[in-house]
Structure formats: C-alpha cells, structure tokens
Amino acid sequence: MGDTAMVLGYLDHTEHAVWQDNLVGFGVKSQLFQALYEKGRYQLIEEKIDSEHSSEQTLSLEDNPQNSWMLSPQRIALGALANTLSAQNVDHLFWVEVTDFGKPARGFSIGVYYSRSVKTMIKVKICRYSADAQIRCGVGTGTSTRRANAFVYHIRQDKKARGLFQNSSIGKSTNKAVIHALDDLLEQHGA
C-alpha cells in the first residue's frame, strides 16, 4: 500500500437543505473513503482527536454531529490544511465539494393514473492537499433517475429514511460523481 491519506468530509456550495442531513453527510464522506480504498493506492487513516483539545472536540461533535463531516471554507484554507496534515501525520488530505445539485421532475396524469420521473443530478469536486502545499481537484458528475407510477394523485418523494443513503437516488448519483471526480483527479495529477 502507498501513502497515507485521510478523508476530511465535504463542503456544500449549493446551500440545498438535503446536504445538511446527517445521513447524507456521513454517506458522502463514506463514499469517498470507499472509492479511495478501492483504488488501493492509499493507506486510509481515521482522523485522530487532538488530546490537548479532545474535550472541546468531543463536546463539539455531541452538540453538532455535522462537525465530523461538514467542512467550512476556513477548514480547507491552505494554513489549516497544512496544520491538519502535520497534526494527523498523513501524506494526503481528501475532501468532496458539492458544486451543483438538481432534481428536475416530470410527470403526467390521465384520470386517476399518475406517472412521475425524477432525475437527480450532482456535480462534485474531489480535492487533495499534499505535503507540496498544493490543492489539486478533479470534477465528476453523476445522475440517477427514479420513476414511479400510481393510481393515486400523490407520489411519495425519494425517502432516505426507507433505506441506506447509497440506495437513494441522491446516494446513487453522488457515488457516480465521486468515482468520476476521483478518476479525473488521479488521471490529471497522479497518486
């Protein structure tokens, strides 16, 4: 196995409410972790809690679990990344930036019959910060379509609570986007 790497989480640029959900946040971070693992180029390391600030960090996670996966722009500033790289003693830091998200829907009805199609589209950047103090990113897009037909007037929305994140239309399109963006990053900038 090659260099050590850590997945920080993700930064949302869309301001869409779905990206504030804990299931989605942990799902996105897990998808990047899994994609990196499957590449076999990195020894993946979990983030270590700084013992000097562990009580602050633990309280922060208890108050707001999003702190473990949602990034702020300040957390991915060059100086903060350099500090994290050094403190965590890893070779690379990775994160996801959600740059575009949409769920256009089309539907029609004839009497009591109703049909609806929802296409989920997501565009992400996978970014890597390494010891050379450079941020390099790859871009990927993913889509998935969910169709529903009914003899009623109401079609249920895609519910994350009915299953795992990776089985939802958002999870499927995010996974495709993460894989494409990681491939783009590694093709352009190598391991």
pLDDT digits (tens, 9 = 90+) for 71-98: 888 998 999 999 999 999 999 999 999 9
DSSP 160: G
How is 50-82 classified by DSSP, letter by letter?
PGGGHHHHHHHHHH-GGGGTBPPTTTTSHHHHH
Phi-psi region of 190 (alpha: psi -120 to 50; beta: other; left: phi over 0): left
Residue 43's pLDDT band (cuts 50, 70, 90): very high
Q: Is the pLDDT of residue 182 over 90?
A: yes
Residue, of 97 and 163, whose pLDDT is higher: 97
Q: Which domains does the chain have, with CATH numbers?
A: 4-99+124-140+157-189 (3.40.50)
Q: Is the pLDDT of residue 187 over 60?
A: yes
Please tell me the predicted confidence (pLDDT) of residue 61: 42
**Cα 123 from Cα 100, distance rounded (Å):** 5
| 33 closest CA partner among 72, 68, 73, 77 | 68
Chain segment 24-35, per-residue pLDDT in tens: 888 889 999 999
| 140 closest CA partner among 5, 40, 35, 19 | 35
**How much is the average pLDDT of 87-114?**
80
Please tell me the predicted confidence (pLDDT) of residue 108: 59
Residue, of 100 and 104, whose pLDDT is higher: 100
Phi/psi for 190 (5° steps) reads 70, -175
Please tell me the predicted confidence (pLDDT) of residue 27: 87
**Measuring CA to CA, how many Å separate 120 from each of 9, 40, 82, 148, 168?**
21, 29, 35, 14, 10
Give the residues across from 4 on adjacent strands: 43
The model's pTM: 0.78
Q: Is the pLDDT of residue 171 over 90?
A: no
Please tell me the predicted confidence (pLDDT) of residue 46: 87
6-20, 48-62, 116-130: the lowest-pLDDT one: 48-62
Residue 44, H or E segment:
strand 43-44
Residue type, 185: L
- Averaged pLDDT of the chain: 79
3-17, 141-155, 164-178: the lowest-pLDDT one: 141-155
**Cα 128 from Cα 135, distance rounded (Å):** 6
Residue 138's pLDDT band (cuts 50, 70, 90): very high
**Cα 95 from Cα 167, distance rounded (Å):** 22
Q: Is the pLDDT of residue 1 over 50?
A: yes
Please tell me the predicted confidence (pLDDT) of residue 160: 46
What would you report as the CA-atom Rg of the chain, rounded to the nearest whole angstrom?
19
